[in-house]
Every structure is written in structure tokens, then in C-alpha cells.
């Protein structure tokens, strides 16, 4: 009887040991990441789909075991575009032990720059402001900066404009986000870019831009380059259409061609301005779902898998969110493959090595994501899009700005 009891006890203990071992293998590591952004409040039209992109991609990573048994836990918190709240969220995330942080706005990224340096934490913001990279080691822009986008557009104008030097006006947001590219474009002009900057307009919350457009027309402005968000652009191009000022094709003589950087375009612009959006030129490094590509198909499948509506699924900010999550996942994956522990410093080093043969080929962007110690702008190439028949269609092949290198 005693023998039986001992046998039973041994079997039980073996079972417990095997089970606990199996459970520990099953559990895997949990990598904590965090994102603070405007899900509600100002700019939430961009922040909301962005958050969904990040959330869905990390769910996908965990569901499909892209990192084996390891999982990513990304806390996403709404800051309502309030920098003080972002700061509070960031402090909370640090207490949670995050290894990588995804930030959102230009203001908060600039405001927290010192904290990122002190904490030595790699950060990928949704802001592509070139100023984020000044006196900063830990911020990694996902794609080319706003400055690069605007200079790229100006280069396209200089190359394709017929008849002398093109006259350009800049239509910008009254903040660091909007003003960033102005100085860089001015430098590019001084370096030889063949355009003339006639006026820089910092828009307010105008509901009518007639006076401004008439003024620009009287100054013979032919191109307006926008660095702001969609709604002021929509107001302006609607007014330009009402006045008969909007060009029907690029550089149409006697008319104004409107062009813009990443946050000016996308489906939201078309929804806001309707037919007036036709012939609006827009640049970004992201692929769009209006163009057939493997990345677009994957994005739509992801959105369908997690029950997102068409608006979110086709938003370029959803793409934006997916892309930063892809970069973070790729960095974690590479650190794991090296057999190293996933920490802030190992992720930072890994991101800095993401170049050359190790560049990350994201299917959501028109070019590879490359970072190095001296280059913290991810995708260096841009794609020009144009609204044609109510959707954005690509114009030409991806390009990169030449003058951005000259002025650096």
C-alpha cells in the first residue's frame, strides 16, 4: 500500500514538474511598448486610425505568433492632443517598464525630447518634423521629414514647370509642425533650387480663403505647397475652385496648382472637399489602398480580420500606424534572433543598424526603412500622388529629394 502511495506521489510530482516546465515555455516574454496620441480631440481624424493601425498590427503579431511565444503588449492611451497629458502618460509608461515608445504630435515630441535622452529610450513618433532630430539621439522618424517632403514637392515643381522660375506660396499650420519646412525650403532655394517663394501664409481657422487666394493670384503665384492638416486645405481648394483658380492639370497656365505633404492629403481630404480635390498633388512615403499592391492587400486583410470599417481600413494614417508597429516588431525580432535580451539599448542599437543589407523592407511603404547613427529618418523616398476621379493615383516613380542632402 505504501509502495502504491509513493508511486502515485512520484507520478503526481512528475506531472507537476512537466506541466510547470511546459507552462513556462508556453508563456514566453512580454515586451512592453506604449503609444500616447490623440484618439479624441484635435487631430483625432489622423490619430484614431493611426491607433487602430498600431493596435491591429500588434494583435496580428501576437495572434500569428510572429515572435514565437513572445508577445508584444502595447498600451495605447488617448492624450487628446494635450502635451501635459502626453507627459503624464509617458511617466506612467516608464513606470510600466516599456522598452520602446511610440509618440504622436510634434509639440509633445519636442517637449519630451530631453526625457527620451535621459531615459535612453528609442522613440518612433507620428510627427515627421525635422526638428525632432536636432539634439536628439533616440527619436526615429518613420519616413522622410516634412522638410524633405516639401522640398521634394518644390523640386518636382522646378523640374516640371514650364516657363521660367515657378512662383510658389507656402500654406502652413501656425505651429512648429507647419513652420518646420519653411526655413529648409528657403535654404534649398539659396542652394540653387529654381523656384521663388512669393509668400508664406500661416492659416488661422478661416472659413473662407477668397481674399488670400485673390492676393496670391495678384502676385502671380502658380503653386501653393501646403504643410498643415486636411481641413484648412479643403477650405482653400474649395474656394479656389469656386473662384476658378484651381488648375485642372499640373502647372496649368494662369491657374494655381495645389500640393501638400503627408498630413494634408488622404481620403479625408477628398471626403472634406469633394470634387474640389481633383488635381491635388500629395506626397507621402506610404502605399495607398487605392493603388494595387501587396502592402495594400495585406492592410485591407488586417483591417477585415479585426473588424475595422472601410474608412479606417483605407486611411493612410492606418497605414502609418501599421508601419511603425512593423518597424518596432522587426527591431524586436532582430534582437531576439541575435539571442540578445530585448531592452531599450538593444532595440536602439538594432534600429541604428537597420540599413544597407539590413534595411527593413516594409510592404506598407514605397521604399525601405533605413536608419543609422547619422540618419534617423526611416523611409527616404517619397511617392507623388494626384487626385484623379475621386481617388489618389500615383504619379511617376518614388523619388528622393536632392536638395535635402545639400542643405544638411
Partner 1 sequence: MSANRWLATGNYFATYKEEQRIFFTHTDRLIFSFFLVCVFVWPLVFETNNKYMLVVDNILIAMIAVLGLNMVTGFAGLISIGHAAFVGVGAYAVASVSRVMGNDYIFLTHAWPLMILLSGFIGAVFGAMVGLPAFRLKHLYLAIATLSFQMIFQWAINFMEFFNQGQTIYVGRAFWFTGEVGRNEHYIFWYYVILVILVLMGFMVRNILRTRFGRCLIAVRDNDRAADAMGMHPGLTKVYAFGLAGFFAGVAGALHAYLYRGVGVESFTLHHSITYLAMAIVGGLGTLNGSFWGPMAIKILELQVEKIAEHAGEIFPASTNLATALRPLSFGLVIVLFLMFEPRGIANWWRITRSYFKLWPFRY
Q: Which is nearer to partner 1, 178 or 260 (CB)?
A: 178
Nearer to partner 1, 41 or 254 (CB): 41
User: Is position 255 an interface residue for partner 1 (rule: CB under 8 A)?
Assistant: no
Nearer to partner 1, 230 or 285 (CB): 230
Q: Report the number of secondary-structure helices (H) and strands (E) in the chain.
A: 15, 13
When asked if residue 227 is in the footprint of partner 1 (CB under 8 A), the reply is: no
Min dist CB 131 to partner 1, Å, is 8
Task: Round to whole Å and give the CA distance between 79 and 82.
Answer: 6
Identify which of residues 89 and 352 has a Cβ nearer to partner 1 in the complex: 89
Among 119, 196, 199, 349, binds partner 1 (CB under 8 A): 119
Q: Is 113 a residue that touches partner 1 (CB under 8 A)?
A: yes
Q: H or E stretch including 25?
A: helix 2-27
Whole-number Å distance between alpha carbons of 313 and 49: 8
- C-beta closer to partner 1: residue 179 or 334: 179
Choose the stretch contacting partner 1; rule: CB under 8 A; options: 104-112, 247-255, 343-351, 370-378.
104-112
- How far is Cα 36 from Cα 30, in angstroms, rounded to an integer? 19
Closest CB to partner 1 among 271 and 294?
271
- If one asks whether residue 107 binds partner 1 (CB under 8 A), the answer comes out as yes
Nearer CB in complex with partner 1: 173/333: 173
Cβ–Cβ < 8 Å for 347, 100 = yes
List the one residue from 29, 92, 291, 349 that touches partner 1 (CB under 8 A). Answer: 92
Q: Judged by CB under 8 A, which stretch of 115-123, 139-147, 216-224, 372-380 contacts partner 1?
A: 115-123
Distance CA 170, CA 374 (A): 29
Task: Indicate whether 205 belongs to the interface with partner 1 (CB under 8 A).
Answer: no
Q: Is 110 in the site for partner 1 (CB under 8 A)?
A: yes
Nearer to partner 1, 183 or 297 (CB): 183
According to CB under 8 A, which one of 118, 162, 244, 356 is a site residue for partner 1? 118
Residues that bind partner 1 (rule: CB under 8 A) add up to a total of 33
Beta strands in 20-145 (DSSP E): 30-37, 71-78, 100-102, 123-124, 141-143
* Closer of 73 and 402 to partner 1 (Cβ): 73
Quick one: which segment of 75-83, 159-167, 246-254, 330-338 binds partner 1 (CB under 8 A)? Answer: 75-83
Q: Which three cell numbers mark 146?
A: 516634412
Place of cell 522660375: 165
Q: How far is the CB of 271 from partner 1 (least distance, A)?
A: 15
User: Of the candidates 154, 171, 168, which has an alpha carbon nearest to the alpha carbon of residue 256?
Assistant: 168
Joined together, the cell numbers standing for residue 68 give 514565437
C-alpha to C-alpha distance for 103 and 77, rounded to whole angstroms:
10
Binding residues for partner 1 restricted to 176-195, rule: CB under 8 A: 176, 179
Q: d(Cα 184, Cα 201) in Å, to the nearest integer?
A: 16
What is d(CA 386, CA 186) in angstroms, rounded to the nearest whole number?
Answer: 25
Rounded distance between C-alpha atoms, residue 257 and residue 276, angstroms: 12
Query: Binding residue for partner 1 (CB under 8 A) from 62, 80, 186, 353?
Result: 80
Cα three-residue angle 55-58-63, rounded to 5 degrees: 120
Residue 113, class by beta-carbon neighbours within 10 Å (0-12 exposed, 13-18 middle, 19+ buried)?
buried
Among 24, 40, 69, 372, interactor with partner 1 by CB under 8 A:
40
Site string for partner 1, 140-179 (x = CB under 8 A): ----------------------------------xxx--x
Q: Which of 19/134 has CB closer to partner 1?
A: 134
CA atoms 369, 372, 375, 377: torsion sign: positive
| 111 interacts with partner 1 by CB under 8 A | yes
* Other CB atoms within 10 A of residue 294 CB: 10
Q: Judging by DSSP bridges, how do beta strands 100-102 and 30-37 pair with one another?
A: parallel
Residue 88 or residue 344: which is nearer to partner 1 going by CB?
88
From 78, 148, 155, 330, residue interacting with partner 1 (rule: CB under 8 A): 78
Cell 529648409 appears where? 184
- Using the Cα atoms of residue 293, residue 296, residue 300 and residue 303 in order, give the sign of their dihedral: positive
DSSP state of 397: E
- Contact residues toward partner 1 (CB under 8 A) are 39-41, 44, 48, 77-78, 80, 82-85, 87-89, 91-92, 94-95, 107, 110-111, 113-115, 118-119, 131, 174-176, 179, 309
Amino acid at each position: 500500500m505504501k509502495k502504491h502511495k509513493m508511486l502515485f506521489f512520484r507520478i503526481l510530482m512528475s506531472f507537476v514538474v512537466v506541466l510547470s516546465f511546459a507552462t513556462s515555455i508556453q508563456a514566453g516574454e512580454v515586451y512592453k511598448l506604449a503609444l500616447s496620441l490623440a484618439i479624441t480631440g484635435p487631430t483625432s481624424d489622423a490619430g484614431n486610425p493611426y491607433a487602430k493601425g498600431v493596435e491591429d498590427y500588434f494583435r496580428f503579431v501576437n495572434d500569428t505568433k510572429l515572435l514565437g511565444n513572445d508577445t508584444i503588449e502595447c498600451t495605447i492611451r488617448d492624450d487628446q492632443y494635450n502635451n501635459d497629458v502626453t507627459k503624464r502618460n509617458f511617466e506612467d509608461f516608464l513606470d510600466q517598464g516599456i522598452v520602446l515608445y511610440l509618440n504622436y504630435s510634434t509639440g509633445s515630441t519636442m517637449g519630451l525630447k530631453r526625457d527620451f535622452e535621459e531615459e535612453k529610450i528609442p522613440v518612433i513618433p507620428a510627427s515627421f518634423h525635422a526638428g525632432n532630430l536636432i539634439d536628439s539621439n533616440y527619436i526615429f522618424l518613420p519616413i522622410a521629414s516634412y522638410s524633405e517632403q516639401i522640398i521634394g514637392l518644390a523640386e518636382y515643381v522646378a523640374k516640371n514647370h514650364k516657363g521660367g522660375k515657378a512662383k510658389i506660396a507656402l500654406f502652413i499650420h501656425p505651429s512648429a509642425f507647419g513652420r518646420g519646412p519653411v526655413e529648409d525650403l528657403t535654404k534649398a532655394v539659396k542652394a540653387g533650387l529654381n523656384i521663388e517663394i512669393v509668400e508664406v501664409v500661416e492659416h488661422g481657422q478661416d472659413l473662407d480663403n477668397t481674399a488670400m487666394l485673390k492676393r496670391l493670384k495678384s502676385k502671380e503665384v502658380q503653386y501653393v505647397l501646403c504643410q498643415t492638416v486636411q481641413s484648412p486645405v479643403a477650405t482653400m481648394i474649395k474656394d479656389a475652385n469656386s473662384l476658378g483658380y484651381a488648375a485642372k492639370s499640373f502647372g496649368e497656365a494662369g491657374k494655381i496648382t495645389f500640393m501638400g505633404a503627408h498630413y494634408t492629403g488622404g481620403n479625408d481630404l477628398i471626403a472634406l472637399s469633394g470634387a474640389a480635390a481633383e488635381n491635388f498633388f500629395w506626397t507621402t512615403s506610404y502605399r495607398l489602398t487605392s493603388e494595387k499592391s501587396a502592402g495594400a492587400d495585406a492592410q485591407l486583410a488586417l483591417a477585415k480580420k479585426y473588424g475595422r470599417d472601410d474608412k479606417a481600413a483605407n486611411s493612410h494614417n492606418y497605414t502609418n500606424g501599421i508601419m511603425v508597429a512593423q518597424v518596432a516588431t522587426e527591431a524586436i525580432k532582430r534582437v531576439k534572433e541575435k539571442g540578445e535580451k530585448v531592452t531599450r539599448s538593444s532595440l536602439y542599437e538594432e534600429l541604428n543598424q537597420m540599413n544597407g543589407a539590413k534595411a527593413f523592407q516594409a510592404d506598407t511603404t514605397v521604399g525601405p526603412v533605413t536608419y543609422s547613427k547619422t540618419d534617423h529618418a526611416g523611409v527616404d523616398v517619397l511617392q507623388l500622388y494626384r487626385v484623379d476621379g475621386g481617388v489618389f493615383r500615383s504619379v511617376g516613380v518614388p523619388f528622393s529629394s536632392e536638395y535635402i542632402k545639400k542643405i544638411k
